[in-house]
Amino acid sequence: MDRNDIVSSMVLELRRGTLVMLVLSRLREPAYGYALVKSLADHGIPIEANTLYPLMRRLESQGLLESKWDHGGSKPRKYYRTTSEGLRVLSEVEEQWQVLCGGVNALLRVAVDGSGGEDAGGSGYGHADESDRPGSVSCCSDDSDGNGGGVQ
Amino acid sequence: MTIRDNDMIERYLYAVTRHLPAKQRDDVAEELRTLISDMLEERCGSMPPAQKDVRVVLTELGTPGEMVRKYTADENACLIGQPYYAQYLYVLKIVLACVAGGMLVAGALSLATGTQGGVLGGVLEGIGSLIAALVFAFAFVTALFAFFSHRGIDVEVMGSLDDLPPVPRETRNPARGDAVVGIVFSIVGAVVLLLFPDVLNALSHRSDGMRLEPFNAEAIRASAWVIIAWTVVCVGAESFKLVEGRYTKRLLAVTLVSDLVVAVLAVFWLTNFHLVDAQAIVQAMQSSGLALEGPVLWAVSNVQVAFCGFIVVALVIDAVDSIVKTARNSRI
């Protein structure tokens, strides 16, 4: 496996980990599958339709999404929307995401600066008090459109 | 869009949805149909899509097999999942080795003792029986572990710190070794009884050279289902012991139930079938100068009843042994 393949594989894993959060966030407003594919692609997050459609179905079976068919247009469309339970889950996951990003960014910066030290980076998971460390968040700053946690 | 292109889309949708649960099929097909239409519109704009466009879009969407895998990714689709698979392979090797070994030894004995007709016929018949027995053993072990895997026989005993298993004092877990011995004995015994009952007679000799056939091969064959049921219960219980890995309360429950079932089968088998010619044995022993009297004469004359009692006592000892080991294990 050459370097490009390794990088692609790692980026794919990173995307996979954030996908559920992004879907729950984008579906605060009802949308059909292909519109969500385009919306995510427009934000630099390409996702295969054959990954998203089964995922939305699974989230629906878990009660995090609800769906409704619309037969009024030129073709029947199934619109999905995040349920109140999905929003609660999203809120908690988003909080953990902010903590995680803060810790990861701090650790990555330490590695680049070469300053080292046990206490240089946030220990991350489960310690919400470290998420608001000044300057530690670079990729996870609050979304201006309220969608939360988007990697832009 | 031509009818042929549409036909390709419909065939694609059918290929995907036919492997999904029936209640989801129409919904998934309708949703994917709209998705394919959207993708074609994006690709072709206002132009009608050609067959090539349909192919490109469907290829982009993924093969039907890929789609099915993604739609069923969260389901427990494999027959035997981990952590059962490793133990399944382990048990399968033991069972197949026992079946093959037992049959080869018994087959060689039957050839050597001349209970088979011709050598070639005996070998061919033996190979046929061997293959059939191996297939049966494979199917049985596979079905057993598929049941363990799918019916939630939970082998995860490390759910909390309180459930951490003790470090065994021996180098290997005692339950595992006991289970292997149990499986080996069950299968070898069943193989000999089921397939080569004549060998038992061929191995029996009277000191005066007269023919001795203490075992009733016909009755043993007629009661084959009891032997099979006995073996299935024993191997099933021992396999559970292997999966569990240590003496727990639920293993004790399985052991007690299997002991009870085996006891019932043994009593039924030994009291309803005339398996052994006790008089022939008594005569053979007397002809060799052994003076039988008292309890020994009774035991030999009523060998089936005596053997039945022996088995019940052995099962009681096994049950008590399991209770003691479970109690000891829970104290550690």
* Contact (CB<8Å) B39/A58: no
- One-letter amino acid for residue B297 of the chain: L
Identify whether residues B156 and B296 lie together within a single domain: yes
* Contact (CB<8Å) B66/A50: yes
How do strand A31-32 and strand A65-70 relate by DSSP bridges?
unpaired
* Last-in-domain residue among B71, B101, B128: B71
Q: Which residue of B has its CA nearest to A73?
A: B34
Helix/strand/coil (H/E/C) assignment for every residue in B56-101: HHHHHHCCHHHHHHHHCCCCCCCCCCCCHHHHHHHHHHHHHHHHHH
**DSSP 8-class letter at B299:** H
Identify whether residues B59 and B85 lie together within a single domain: no
* Contact (CB<8Å) A49/B67: no
* Contact (CB<8Å) A50/B70: yes
Q: What is the pLDDT of residue B33?
A: 93
B329 C-beta neighbours (distance < 10 Å), count: 19
Identify whether residues B60 and B92 lie together within a single domain: no
* Contact (CB<8Å) B39/A49: yes
Identify whether residues B194 and B251 lie together within a single domain: yes
Q: Give A78's contacts in chain B (Cβ within 8 Å).
A: 27, 30-31, 34
Q: What is the pLDDT of residue B171?
A: 46
Which residues on chain A place their C-beta less than 8 Å from a C-beta of chain B? 32-34, 48-51, 53-54, 57-58, 69, 75-78
Q: B255 to chain A, minimum CA–CA distance in Å?
A: 39
Identify whether residues B188 and B306 lie together within a single domain: yes
Q: What is the pTM of this model?
A: 0.50
How do strand A31-32 and strand A77-82 relate by DSSP bridges?
antiparallel
* Contact (CB<8Å) A54/B66: no
* Contact (CB<8Å) B28/A51: no
Give how many domains chain B has, as a whole number.
2
* Contact (CB<8Å) A78/B70: no
Do A123 and A110 meet the contact criterion of CB atoms below 8 Å apart?
no
Q: Give B67's contacts in chain A (Cβ within 8 Å).
A: 50, 54
Q: Give A57's contacts in chain B (Cβ within 8 Å).
A: 24, 28, 71
Identify whether residues B57 and B146 lie together within a single domain: no
Beta strands in chain A (DSSP E): 31-32, 65-70, 77-82
Do A65 and A86 meet the contact criterion of CB atoms below 8 Å apart?
yes
Mutant choice from A53, A55, A65 vs B, greatest count of B C-beta within 10 A? A53
- B158-205 pLDDT, tens digit per residue, is 445 665 656 655 544 566 777 788 888 888 888 777 776 777 676 666
* Last-in-domain residue among B71, B103, B119: B71
Identify whether residues B218 and B322 lie together within a single domain: yes
Q: Give A53's contacts in chain B (Cβ within 8 Å).
A: 31-32, 35
DSSP per-residue codes, B168-191: PSSSS-HHHHHHHHHHHHHHHHHH
Identify whether residues B232 and B95 lie together within a single domain: yes
Query: Count of A–B CB contacts within 8 Å?
Result: 38
Identify whether residues B63 and B101 lie together within a single domain: no
**DSSP 8-class letter at A130:** G
- Tens of pLDDT along chain A (152 residues) come to 789 999 988 888 888 889 999 999 999 999 999 999 999 999 988 889 999 999 999 999 999 999 999 998 888 999 999 999 999 999 999 999 999 999 999 998 877 776 554 444 444 444 444 334 433 334 554 444 434 333 33
Do A47 and A40 meet the contact criterion of CB atoms below 8 Å apart?
yes
**Could you give all domains of chain A from N- to C-terminal order, each with its CATH number?**
3-110 (1.10.10.10)
Identify whether residues B86 and B153 lie together within a single domain: yes
- Tens of pLDDT along chain B (332 residues) come to 544 556 889 999 999 998 888 888 999 999 999 999 999 999 888 888 888 999 999 999 999 988 888 888 765 667 887 778 877 888 888 888 888 887 777 777 766 666 555 666 666 777 777 888 889 889 988 998 888 877 766 654 444 566 565 665 554 456 677 778 888 888 888 877 777 677 767 666 666 666 667 778 788 888 888 888 888 888 888 888 877 777 888 888 988 999 999 989 988 888 888 888 777 777 777 776 666 667 677 777 777 888 888 888 888 888 888 888 888 777 65
| Per-residue tokens: B273 | 């079938």
Q: What is the pLDDT of residue A62?
A: 92
Do B175 and B247 meet the contact criterion of CB atoms below 8 Å apart?
yes
Do B238 and B179 meet the contact criterion of CB atoms below 8 Å apart?
yes
* Contact (CB<8Å) A75/B37: yes
Identify whether residues B53 and B154 lie together within a single domain: no
Return the closest-CA partner of residue B115 out of B263, B217, B14, B226. Answer: B217
Q: Give B35's contacts in chain A (Cβ within 8 Å).
A: 33-34, 49, 53
| Per-residue tokens: B269 | 């088998």
Q: B60 to chain A, minimum CA–CA distance in Å?
A: 9
Return the closest-CA partner of residue B236 out of B148, B156, B108. Answer: B148
CA distance B32 to A78: 10
Q: Give the domain range for residue B10.
A: 3-71
| Per-residue tokens: B76 | 């427990």
Q: What is the pLDDT of residue B91?
A: 84
* Last-in-domain residue among B71, B99, B122: B71
* A112 Cβ neighbours under 8 A, 6+ residues apart: none
* Contact (CB<8Å) B39/A34: yes
Name the residue with tokens 């039907």.
B64
- One-letter amino acid for residue B203 of the chain: L
* Contact (CB<8Å) A50/B61: yes
Q: What is the pLDDT of residue A42?
A: 92
